């Protein structure tokens, strides 16, 4: 069972789902779940597999797992000790209404997939961003209608080289396919291509009711000027994309550091993704003791 739970959890992370892993790490007395018993829950629909012993203990662990999955920051995890008797006492022991009488300690850990960024447009900015993603151990894929800008020679570490026309791209990228990405960056060389892709993507995600938060659906960022975004926004509203959906799109992309060159833009963009991934506001000061 332990191996099956671990394999399932790894498969969910590979698919871009956040997972809580609960493991029994210490027991004493009579308890339903022995050391090594595990339970895992994924973020997308709170499906879970495995067991830490069932009954009230398991219901409590499942409730805490759901709470941890809904937290926006990245908790390192926690260790909880339960006394399986409503009269249980002791330092940091939570009593449960149970007749087992023993004590069980569990670790709960949130396992978060590393970002996987889809770069749309293989020009100068994408060529600068890709190595920065590699340096962090993150994944990226590349899409361009031009084969010369979407190949293993230019992007040697890309997971996928999506050289295809616009219609093929739009037809292939359902909400389910998009869920494998944490971020989608529109960096295309042709504004009309980017507009077609963007409107199709927003329509798809809006129909699913998905939040573009990097977990339920990818964060979407668009490089460009205010006038370019206003034109995209106007076209999107004309086909029924709501204000609420448009407000979730990041444009312009990158934290404000005065970036101008592709390499500087890469620093700004990756920093913004990192801040979102860590759940921090980059404009707030960082205090260190």
Q: How far apart are alpha carbons 115 and 136 in whole angstroms?
A: 10
SS3 215: coil
Question: In CATH, which superfamily holds the domain spanning 116-278?
Answer: NAD(P)-binding Rossmann-like Domain (3.40.50.720)
Residue 192's Cα: distance from chain center in Å? Answer: 29
Name which of 111, 113, 90, 86 is nearest 100 in CA terms. Answer: 86
- Token output for 183: 């971020």
How many CB atoms lie under 10 A from the CB of residue 31?
A: 23
Q: What is the pLDDT at residue 80?
A: 80
Residue 90: the pLDDT is 47
CATH 3.40.50.720 segments of the chain? 116-278
Beta pairing class for 139-144 and 116-120: parallel
Q: What is the pLDDT along the chain (289 residues), one digit of tens a residue?
A: 688 999 999 998 887 788 999 998 888 776 676 888 899 999 878 898 988 876 777 888 888 888 888 875 555 678 888 776 654 444 444 444 455 557 788 889 998 889 999 999 999 999 999 999 999 999 999 999 999 999 999 999 999 999 999 999 999 998 888 988 999 999 989 999 999 999 999 999 999 888 898 877 899 999 988 999 999 999 999 999 999 999 999 999 999 999 999 999 999 999 999 999 888 888 777 665 5
The C-alpha atoms of residue 125 and residue 130 are separated, in whole angstroms, by 9
Sign, CA torsion 75/81/85/89: negative
Is-contact 43 19, C-beta < 8 A?
yes
């Amino acid at each position: 069972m332990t191996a099956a739970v671990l394999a399932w959890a790894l498969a969910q992370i590979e698919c871009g789902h956040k997972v809580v892993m609960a493991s029994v790490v210490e027991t004493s007395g009579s308890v339903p779940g022995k050391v090594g018993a595990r339970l895992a829950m994924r973020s997308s629909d709170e499906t879970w597999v495995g067991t830490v012993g069932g009954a009230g203990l398991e219901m409590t662990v499942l409730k805490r797992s759901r709470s941890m999955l809904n937290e926006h920051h990245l908790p390192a995890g926690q260790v909880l000790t339960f006394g399986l008797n409503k009269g249980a006492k002791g330092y940091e022991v939570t009593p449960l209404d149970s007749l087992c009488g023993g004590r069980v300690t569990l670790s709960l850990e949130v396992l978060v997939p590393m970002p996987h960024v889809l770069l749309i447009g293989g020009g100068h900015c994408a060529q600068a961003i890709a190595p920065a993603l590699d340096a962090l151990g993150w994944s990226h894929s590349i899409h361009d209608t031009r084969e010369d800008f979407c190949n293993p020679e230019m992007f040697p570490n890309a997971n996928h080289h999506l050289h295809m026309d616009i219609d093929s791209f739009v037809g292939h990228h359902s909400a389910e396919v998009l869920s494998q990405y944490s971020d989608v960056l529109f960096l295309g060389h042709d504004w009309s291509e980017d507009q077609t892709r963007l409107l199709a993507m927003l329509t798809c995600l809006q129909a699913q009711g998905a939040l573009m938060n990097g977990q339920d659906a990818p964060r979407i960022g668009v490089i460009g000027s205010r006038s370019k975004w206003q034109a995209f926004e106007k076209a999107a509203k004309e086909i029924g994309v709501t204000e609420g959906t448009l407000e979730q799109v990041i444009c312009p992309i990158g934290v404000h550091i005065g970036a101008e060159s592709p390499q500087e833009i890469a620093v700004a963009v990756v920093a913004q993704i990192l801040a979102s991934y860590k759940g921090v506001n980059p404009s707030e000061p960082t205090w260190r003791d």
